[in-house]
Structure 1
Amino acid sequence: MIKLFAPLISLILLVFALFPAACASSADVETNKTVWSRVELESDLDAWLDWTRSTHPAFEQSVDVDAFERQIKQVRAGLHDGMETSEAWYLFARLNPLLNDAHMGLELPAIDSDLDSWDVEIENGRAYVQLAGADEKRQEIVAVDGLSVPEMIARTLPVVRGESDALRQRILELRFRELVMLNLDGGSPLEVRIQSADGTERVVSEIKPVAAASEATPFSLSFLNSTAIMRIDTFEKDIDAEFASFVEESFARIASEKATRLVVDLRDNGGGAHEVSDRLLNYLTSERYTPISAVRARVTEANRGQIPGAEPGDVVAMPYAQWVEPESRLDHRFGGDVIILIGPATYSQAIVFSTTVQDYQIGLIAGAETVGKANQTAQVQHFDLPNTGFQVRAPLYVLTRSSGEETGTGVLPDIPISNVEDRTIAQILETVDQWAAENGQPDSALQR
């Protein structure tokens, strides 16, 4: 049931974190192999589907229903007695691509919280890690307990949640140890075969990455002539204090260097919290803004008290403004041309940030269309399946960007740049300058 509420209501969203900085962890994989019957697995499948449909506020509009139902039939047909962790997970995961949203679907089973993650980079279907040691050189993880890692990646990448290969690959990089343990049916690896660039192989019992690799700063500032380039790879809430210092120091330096143009590189930014990205916007505009103009929300026991007349299960559609007032007086607020650089991997809160900049004409968007939709989902919920313990996720909210435009596309750049993810900043600036010469300078194009 969908209900329309007037915007004057005291709204629900002020009491929720619309853009969670991190996801709740999945149920731990059992250390001993677990075997399930067809009846148990079918019960879990039904529980997943029922929970998702009763949680997502616009499920039928978010997926190709016919294709999804056909895939469900194929998954059911593949269920049988005696299925173990890995086989059952890969069968269930065939539904992930049809959901087409990293905020929705089946999670990789989590590992024990006492186990360290493996910091890897995946390139061309192969996993690389920089190991701690005398040489600290990058090594390829070739196999784990005799299982080929490239085959593991090739098998898993198509069925990980997410809208694109780039996003799914990033999830695998962050959850690589979980991927390995899934393929070992929850067991810890005993032998990890690694290979150096010269082809030399050795076997280790544990991957211990260089500490600095996991602590690399996710943002940086550089200059190219009169252009300042700010690379920001995350808006995660746990780096808020560090980000606040970085932003303050960066704009002081931008002012001292007398930069006339600022490029904010969000090509690898997977999102985070709006409180963090607001720190950056504070230096780009003095005018108030709202990142969203409307919301469609599923009513739950937690929020029903703030929506008069609504019952759990209802879907509430309403105008909603989440106004942010930048500081009226701020040292070093930037007044030059602003370019926001986006690409296929730009996601979640980085998308919301980009649409806000675009809708309020704070700057120009350059790059390639995001794979994630311009109107994002939010407030991700998690649910453990009763038998396997697999964890699934779904959002409670669908947001409408501040312009009110409701399309199924990603963020469309003002300045299209092909293969933007592979281009250097110098190449990108050359394209931007070309565009400016043909269309007028960014300020005149925006008519700020």
Structure 2
Amino acid sequence: MIKTWFEKFADNTTGQIIFFAAYVVLTTLGLFLLSDSVTAFLILLLSLLILYYLKLNIKIKWALGLLIIAVLVPFAASQGSSYQSFMDVGTLVLIYVAMSLGLNIVVGFAGLLDLGFIAFFAVGAYTYAIFGSTQANHFMPFGHYPLPGDTFWLFIPIGAIIAAIFGILLGIPVLRVKGDYLAIVTLGFGEIIRIVLNNMNKPINITNGPMGIPSIEPPRLFGIAIQNASQFYYIALVIFLFAIYIATRLEHSKLGRAWKAVRDNEIAAQAMGIPLVKTKLAAFAIGASFSGMMGSVFAAKQMYIDASSFTYLESTIVLVMVILGGMGSIPGVILGAAVVIILNNQVLTDISNTLTQLSASGVISVPDALSPAKMQRFIFGILLVVFALYRTKGLIPHKNRVFNVSKLKREAAAEKNKYKDDPEVEGSES
């Protein structure tokens, strides 16, 4: 009976719209009234996943999704003291989603296992941090630093370009290796970049070494300094939308099909005339540029960076987001990144803080060896194992694009008849 009801509901577009509208209104009102509730915040965000599965026009889905993440979530959360905390988590989700989309191009589309992807994030972050602080005065013979916050907007594409150059530099020496050897080389590349950045304070002080770069100039827009998480949320949102648009267009482009051909069978792809060198370098460069853009945003948001923020563990977390969501699946990667960040930075942290407070007040007794702070990573690891066991292809597996074969045949026949009836074409053939 329940199954029959769900089948009827799935075919009833009007019913789906009414249900979704009621859900969004109730959850928005719930977060508005319980503005410090993590549960209310997460239930409202769940509406985005529900929206994905509704059978609505794609443009309507995008419009409703933008309304939720750009208007309803910030407005409903703004009434409480946890507003900036929620927006900070939202900003981190958008930053890591854009990075995951970049890594998905390399791993999911092109099939190139990259374990040093965080290096491109570091390059973008240091690019803005050096010139957006007094650090550039140590080695630049001209100019006055820090550059004003208005120049931040130029460093977003600059960070993308420089990260793309580093992606090409990584791609050139690894073209001859694949599989496990490719993973080893990219892992080494990531560690080399981190160690170099951590030691570039002698003989010329470029990165200030392990001391990091403090007092990074905040971005400015129309003379207004952008410093709060709620303001950075919208910057990350715009770049996130741009990253989705580019990734979607690339997936169904000639280059995207070439990446998938290389991923499935390099020899067959090369036999079909696909240039392996250019195709792989394009994947490394474009994927790295996504990470470089968000690196600049991350540096401006944190206002302080050092090499400890770009360890191998961070590369692994980004790779986990891609695999957990579903390799090659853009919606899956978005969901995977959101799940990992919200679990780590919101849900498990909130549970850990609550248990710590209860233990300190004597309500419950937790042994020191099992303290919530120490068990957070353990619980996160268990959840990843459960996801991997029961969702082996990811939370939202990749679906190949379905074509109407009969429609394609009709279009091909019409195109053939068009050229056949063209007198110029007939004359050239004769």
TM-score, scaled relative to structure 2: 0.24
Q: Which has the higher strand share?
A: 1
Give the greater-gyration-radius structure (CA).
2
The one of the two structures with greater contact order (alpha-carbon pairs below 8 A, sep at least 6) is 2
TM-score, scaled relative to structure 1: 0.23
